[in-house]
Structure 1
Amino acid sequence: MGSENHTIHPDFILLGLSSQPGQQKLLFVIFLVMYTVGLLGNFLIILLILWDAHLHTPMYFFVSQLSLVDVFFTSVTVPKMLANLVSESKTISYAGCLTQMYFFFAFGVTDSFLLASMAYDRYMAIRNPLHYAIMMSRSLCVGFVAGSWIVSHLHSLLHIILMTRLSFCASQEIPHFFCDHQPVLGLSCTDTSFIEMLIFTEGALVVLSPFVFIVTSYALILAMVLRLPSGSGWRKAFSTCGAHLTVVTLFYGTVTGVYFQPTARYSAEKGRVATVMYTTVIPMLNPFIYSLRNDDVKGALRRALCRKVGTQ
């Protein structure tokens, strides 16, 4: 009798951000605008860096990679959320759920490793500016990016293999707008204690190790800046790091609040708010953080616009 209420490969129902039709229409417009702005902004950054030779430096190579990952990261969750906001059916298949979860983990971890690579780049730029171009060679930068992708996908694969070992009870309603592992674990009839422990420990190692590296890099940067003789040197050093520190604070401030807590203490409402921040808001803000506060990017945009006007 009890086995009739258990299934191994169910279709899930994504409850989304709201069940009120009026709110759903408003949310659809808001998130469509945010998603569109994020895509256009990140693609603009990528194209500017590819087009303008002044931006062919290690720092902007990492910025272009971060923009590319942000495009993928936000596209994993937001299109499905938008479709559910205007559709009667809010189901997602078991395979679709695991696929969404896989790429969500992969691109999220790639983001964190790229942020660590950018911190190392800033450290080398301030520590040894005369030999910066030699020490941050093209091969080293490509190696950092390739390593970020490889580690993140291995991490994601491990999580998905663990999730495939679960069976589920009668309820398949996920109180979220995408397949995140915390609410999915909450639906399982399987004992998830071992999986939670492994996800927590391995996830903490993979996600927090870049954060520790970033903090260490900026502690060393701060020590070097404090030894600079002039205030102008301080301003120049902080201007090169300000945008990156803003992105790091936004990213890790929301991620740690959601994922580094037991499933039993997971709050669906707080989880939805935090994940909206780093799946939609932060990818939309990153291009503005890196462009509006950056003279190099603004100069590249002016040159691109002048060339466009000059050809007409």
Structure 2
Amino acid sequence: MYLVTVLRNLLIILAICSASYLHTPMYFFLSILSLADICFISTTVPKMIVDILIHSRVISYVSCLTQMSIFINFGCMDDMLLTVMAYDHFVAICHHLRYNVIMNPKLCWLLVLLSFLISVLDALLLTSIALQLSFCTNLEIPHFFCELSHLLKLACSDILINNILVYLVTGLLGVVSLSGIIFSYTQIVSSVLKIPSSVGKYKAFSVCGSHLIVISLFYGTGFGVYLSSTGTHSSRKSAVASVMYTVVTPMMNPLYTA
């Protein structure tokens, strides 16, 4: 699954860069998302594969925090890009006559840069929270990578304030992004229903169908993991849910090209 994800996303990037007729905002955002997904999945899966091969599951404190920070960065980047792509679909369907004027190259690069900056700030903030924790020796993380919610549970210090900050930041970004996506698709559905032709309706919905599938998978499993971490839950179920949004979701991005 890792090799398929990396190769498919690399092929998408190469195809978009080499074909001039694909130099549109939609495919530009798709290429950036593919690059982010390669980095996202490469943060966790290669280490897991190596651990399985050499029968060792040891990770240093510095490596653990580094992995967590990079994971948060590209996970948030995925979140931001999915929101940006929803806005792109909204402009393409609801304001198609002004699409090229609104989604100009300057705005596209600005949206990507803004997504990257928000992701970096989010990763730095959450990593700084983790740095404030004190841990006992010989810790065992019941997961296949260093996830912040699991690290919080293993801390020897009081984590009430840390938990509040983590869920506040994560929830705020998630709610804002999801609200933007919901608003975009509410407007899209409203506009599509006004199209008299059934062929036109089918074409409009087909553009957004694969995007909605990935959004549902990403948010459904992501929120499931972080919301369930507030109470007692099975670490195995948490790991399975994490695999869904760390491995399966990046692998499904080629569906956008359908």
Once the two structures are superposed, the pairs formed by residues 192-207 of structure 1 within 5 Å of their partners are: 192-207=159-174
Could you tell me which of 234, 252, 261 is aligned with 2:219? 252
Does residue 78 of structure 2 align to residue 120 of structure 1? no
The 8 Å contact of residues 102 and 160 in structure 1, kept in 2 or not, is answered as yes
8 Å contact kept, 1:196–1:262: no
Report the Cα offset of residue 267 of structure 1. Answer: 3.2
Q: CA deviation at 1:266?
A: 4.5
- Cα shift readout 1:250-275 (whole Å, capped 9, x = no counterpart): 11111010113454434311210011
Following the alignment from structure 2 to structure 1, what is the Cα–Cα distance between the partners of residues 156 and 6?
39
Equivalence map 1:1-312=2 (5 Å): 34-287=1-254, 289-291=255-257, 293=258
Is residue 46–residue 64 contact of structure 1 (8 Å, CA) maintained in 2?
Answer: yes
Give the secondary-structure state (helix, strand or coil) at the position aligned to 1:169: coil
Kindly provide the amino acid, as one letter, of the partner of residue 181 in structure 1: L
- The one-letter code of the counterpart of 1:88 is H
SS of 1:265's equivalent in the other structure is coil
Contact 1:43/1:68 (<8 A) preserved: yes
In structure 2, C-alpha distance between the alignment counterparts of 1:198 and 1:115, rounded to whole Å: 24
Determine if contact 1:76/1:103 at 8 Å carries over to the other structure: yes
Alpha-carbon distance in structure 2 between the residues aligned to 1:48 and 1:104: 26
Q: 1 CA distance for matches of 2:119 and 2:214?
A: 19
Separation in 2, partners of 1:144, 1:266: 37
Q: Rg: which structure is higher?
A: 1
Contact map agreement 1:174 1:184 (CA 8 A) in 2: yes
Residue pair 1:186, 1:263 contacting (<8 A) in 2 also: no
SS in 2 for 1:228: coil
Mapped to 1, the partners of 2:184 and 2:230 lie a distance apart of: 32
- Bigger mean CA offset, 46-55 vs 169-178: 169-178
Question: 2:56 aligns to what SS in structure 1?
Answer: coil
Give the CA deviation at 1:171: 4.1
TM norm structure 2: 0.97
Unaligned runs of 5+ in 2: none
Cα-to-partner distance string for 1:52-96 (whole Å, 9 max, x where unaligned): 111100000000011000000000000000000011331111000
Match of 1:91, SS state, is coil
User: Could you tell me how far apart the structure 1 residues matched to 2:233 and 2:26 are?
Assistant: 37
Q: Secondary structure of the residue that 1:103 maps to in structure 2?
A: helix
> Using the alignment, how far apart are the partners of 1:259 and 1:37 within structure 2?
27
Percent identity (aligned): 47
**TM-score (normalised: structure 1):** 0.80
Q: In 1, distance between residues paired with 2:55 and 2:82?
A: 39
After TM superposition, what 4+ stretches of structure 1 lie above 6 angstroms from structure 2? Answer: none
Amino acid at match of 1:175: P
Alignment partners' CA distance in 2, 1:116 and 1:151: 13
Query: 1:181 Cα shift?
Result: 0.9
Aligned length: 258
Q: Which amino acid aligns with 2:135?
A: F
